Structure 1
């Protein structure tokens, strides 16, 4: 019997569905019967989980405006993950017992599963007895098919420019073209900085200019695009620039050598360099980076996108252009492009009135208009559109959070299986380029990929999930080094971190508080050892991924032995992985990828 779930489904809906499936499985039932354990405990656990499920969707919406509800949900999620770990242990013990019986061995360990289930029941009972639960609406309808549906939509390939048409930016484009083609007697390097808040479309505007045939009229000898992001380091960015100009990777570790190569490459040549998403406010770092760029020929241009006027000033920008919100007409065009799909004219007329009110709530922010438009494209009834318009999520105070209500609303309406896949991406550093296949493998290792269609493989299900997130504008396709990759907008990265809470933690990025008992997924981003203080507290850890060179004071053997629930262990940048990793005696099966 499927879990009851509303239109989008709570983030935990997929976890609850898995728990119900496990509780009804012949493995768990067979283990209890074979050991003469109390089957009534399984029924009690199922009833408690049904009680949680009945209120969890309403709680998820209320968490955005009530911090106590968010804390309650975090506690619920922690208990659900404990339940999942326990049922997987039981499943594994059942399989091992059958194997030992076949080979007439008797080394199977006896676990106190009954006492662990009783502890889970106590935790769930405590959560359900909290006063705040009385205010939750109880959902008792029939589960929407959307929760289990795997879309058949396929995402068409795109070029570097994600959006073929952008509305309301023609004047800015022409201004930039004029600057690119301008011919002055001043040999000083000319820098134009586009400044605006996140989601305003700075990068999109720069992409359109970079790829427009009009740019060729400026007759540049060299063109390069570099995404700088918040991790600004003169050596790293210099290597990225020389790599972009030469279309190759440079592993040199010496700034003098890199700058020599840049000087040689650019001397006497007219170039266009785009530095996208610059956060650096250290003038010395910019001066160190800028030195070899001054050897370019007259007419060379540097186009910068940044959220900060201070950054633009430190870079000694020749021109600073503040990107404004879209006006009402262009906002509607942006929204309508994504929202309307195959509606008949009569229905479209009804929806337009509601849509205009929704557009006003987006306040001219292109990313918000796009994501909410993508959300509403899948909703064809007036009541569904009105439900989005009247959502309490719009009232979330932006000044107290990095989260834009529009994006949060788009997330809230995702099916639960997509919510879980998206929230897992909170492990990624900002501006991280990822490929589809690798992310699908990570989801697969976490057992996120399920489909009622038996004919589909996990890889095919994962591709459908991935394409659904792309079509909903949660991922954007880019071309880098002639390869296809995907990225998340910074605001969506913030959203993923917000909804994942303590479950996902990025070492070196997410603050000095460190990991907690609730942490299930960790990524290694920085080499700062102080962030490892509480690493061993995450006893239920399922993921450990490295995005930088390994500098952890804990040995790899210690790391493995401390976390028996690991499903993903990735040392992409680690050179010396011990041979003993394949000989570990595990209590439960683990997938390494």
Structure 2
């Protein structure tokens, strides 16, 4: 962790030096003498950074090194605070200067001579900068001491970042031999894996790669051993080869091991190309089964030569790869990936009890079984954890000893940590320093928390973990970091976006992985319940990131820890209706403040003094009003107000939040307008719901917000029926918002909206999903089929007055179409398909649904002479509550060779010709059809 903190500080120092060189920091900002200290700090930290790889490895076993690193981490935090304060003061001064200039410009000329604000402003700047200079000089003195102490440890300098051979935890070499009687809960996994290894062996050409992926300790090697030793495998393959690859991936070493297994003698070769040629000869026309266990390298260039040397194997040859990383097996071209999950509690109990009760009589441990089963539940299906716990308790005989283990966190049990965590540490140690920090930060989340990925990335950004990335790429880099951790099995239960399966929206951490994160971050991240305050006070005095879980409104974090050091405070679902002012006065270093679900109705004015604050989460809270003081937080990047059902307005001076990137305003029924200042927030990436039509809120406010991305919903709750409204719609410049992928245009049912207003709201051409809801016009905008060639999902809902559908069949990539609650729609004809005039109608459409179209009577069928392709990809057709529809387009349906499902419900006048739809596999009808 120290390396990440030092890197963040070095990056900030570098920025100040660059700004001075460019002349962007004047003499008031960079006072006399400060340049020397800045350069001194930078030079010393670079020297320290070169030794940190060795220091981090020695931290685990050397208490003195551990203590030195903790001092360095404290120093890094303090330096980061001072530099951030300096940067903030500069930004605040610029804002004040601009405001002063604006005020001066508004004063009549004859009174300007009496306006003295600039002089006071300059004096204030001098005082602030003297304070910064003093703090930086003090930091330089402290760092000199840290450097001197470093020298006594004789760290191995690692300027190139090469991993030392002296790993803290040695990698274990594996073999293909396993005692099946000791394995529990893997029968079905074994059957699936063996079937993949044996299926179609005689029909397929080339060598197929099959893989097993999962977190450390889940049993990947064990499963591979079960397959390797299976009699069907032994009888099917001419050669079986087991290679423990591990890390680093040494091509020569791996090739020698393969050749030795094939020839049963040690090869007297050292050149890679000669080894590979010999392997090629040995496997020629032989059906072989090669296991590459514990592969880490993602470098395809190392894998490709070896794979090519194996291509001469006979049909049906297989390579089985085990790895913790999905990226590794993707690089290796795996045709099937077996994601290995947890074993059941009963199998976990069998594994645990076999070890824990070994050599004991039944009557000796009957009294321990109940506690033991509760301990096993803490293992969360991880075989290694069950074995480790069993080994720990094997020589503990009393209920009190077992109860102590039950009551402890796994990461607090030294004996367990020594045996269990090395397997996880190897995955952790393989990460770059910044990913290590991103991972250990997750220890702040309580166990079993569903972690929203976008929220996690915003928090990482607020802590500065993404600060070395270009400003406009931080969210992209954050998601890349997350996926890197997820593919290495640090997260599980990954939930995908319904509209885009390549995007993960939430995840969890396995309890054992969470325990490991807590083990690594126990002096930095802490989760505590309010009732535990007194007994845990000593443990959390130095904590930087605190999760506070308390239903006791009389207890708050100020009674437990030094809140002046806190950089993250998660205080979700607090029952207190008013937060103590001393809490906000003390949070001097806070970056992330999470008050999700809290009962407080207002925030104190003191929140405006927390100038380091970058992320505020008030989602689902009872807050009724936001103080204007919040607009003094010029570093604020994210403000989450989702589900604040009592909040009716945003601060008028919100335009001062120039660094705001994410403003989440979904599910806020009382919010009826946005202040004009929203137009100044040109850094905004997220503006989830924008309300127009009442008060002063106008469509033109979002005209310059061209960094918006992802999801944008515009709610029109008033009338837009004037020429001025048309101009505002044009000013909105939706077509310039090229990063917006999902757009919703919601019109309140009483709103009157001119046709030329919605015609002016032309979406960006890259839009993937569009919803038009509640529009009362008689026809839909023409840009739907003219401008949206990348559209995948289209929903037309509650457009009650619309009496026909545009030629949607012309949309080349549309996959899902939902038409609902269109009361005036009576006829759907060939114009809906885009006929005539198109070669292929709805070429990519997979799902089509009509529902609650109460006046729809006729769906015109295709004429036999129509030769163009119509809905060739359609799989699902659904008709719900279309009460007057009297027939189906049977000619069209018979041409739909890909259709799998037809669902018809509450369409009483529809008479089905079953002979014409018999080709559809799944037909559901109900409620009088």
TM-score (norm 2): 0.27
Structure in which a larger fraction of residues adopt helix: 1
TM-score (norm 1): 0.41
Q: Which has the higher contact order (CA 8 A, sep 6+)?
A: 1
